[in-house]
Structure 1
Amino acid sequence: MIGFEHPTIPVHHQYVVTATVPEVKALKKELAVIRDLEGSYYMRQERDGLLFGPYEKMEKMVLQNSWVRDGVPPGFGKELFESDLDRIMEHIEMAMEMVPVLKKADIINVVSGPITYTPDLLPMVGPHQGIRNYWTAIGFGCALNQSS
């Protein structure tokens, strides 16, 4: 809208959706969202099941290099990338430790699509220098503990 481009990079982000989990279905109110920085994942209720995804470390992230080089392909819509559960298995296992009902849950969908981060994976927040009344707030998608 204002002709300014933010420095972001396209990264493959995966999340997993489970089938109905009886313990979740039996609840009287919606579960709170979990953001586990030690396990580096988030989890929330998705209908009567669960949805969880990782905050991957920089060295495990998969960058969509062709988009960095050539831009997003014209006409790109809601297409997905191929999933890679092995890449996020340590996060899945930590989520199962924290939420044991996840061990019995059937996975019905693995979504692997693009998400944007700043190149250094740190949030970019604050007023933009040179554009009056323009504030930036991007790059909040990853865990704070990227080096461990």
Structure 2
Amino acid sequence: IQELQLCRPRYDELISLQLRNIFVLISRAIMSAKKFSSTSEKEVAFAMHYFRKNYNTEISIEEYSESRELSNCWFIQCFKEITGSSPQQYILKLRISNAQSLLENTEYTITEIANMVGYTNSLYFSRLFHKYIGMSPKEYRKVKLKENLRE
């Protein structure tokens, strides 16, 4: 837009090159999206279902991919390309999200919630929770309790 407004010498060539660059980037994105077959999409969908169902147990990504007769590297790459996060990050998000729900809607202790979402060490759980949410589970519960009282 700036090139169009300023009309500097050879601006038209520069604009056409920038437009071509945009088309190349779009083409690359389309090609990378197509490199995954419906089989890989089905595998990732199956994995997501499995992870949602079993997020609160210990899940080894390597053992999971072996059980599905998949290459571990291929599975992780496909999962990340399709979902935008690694399988381990996906499981972590599920655990934290469910912990948030339990903190908001129940009176379970932090230790009980940590166990429910798959962490045997409540201190480790609290550190992870703080890292991803920005506050400890205890602080999170207080904030949500105050928000609910205002409503």
Normalising by structure 1, what TM-score? 0.21
Normalized per residue, the structure richer in strand is 1
Larger Rg: 2
Normalized per residue, the structure richer in helix is 2
Normalising by structure 2, what TM-score? 0.20
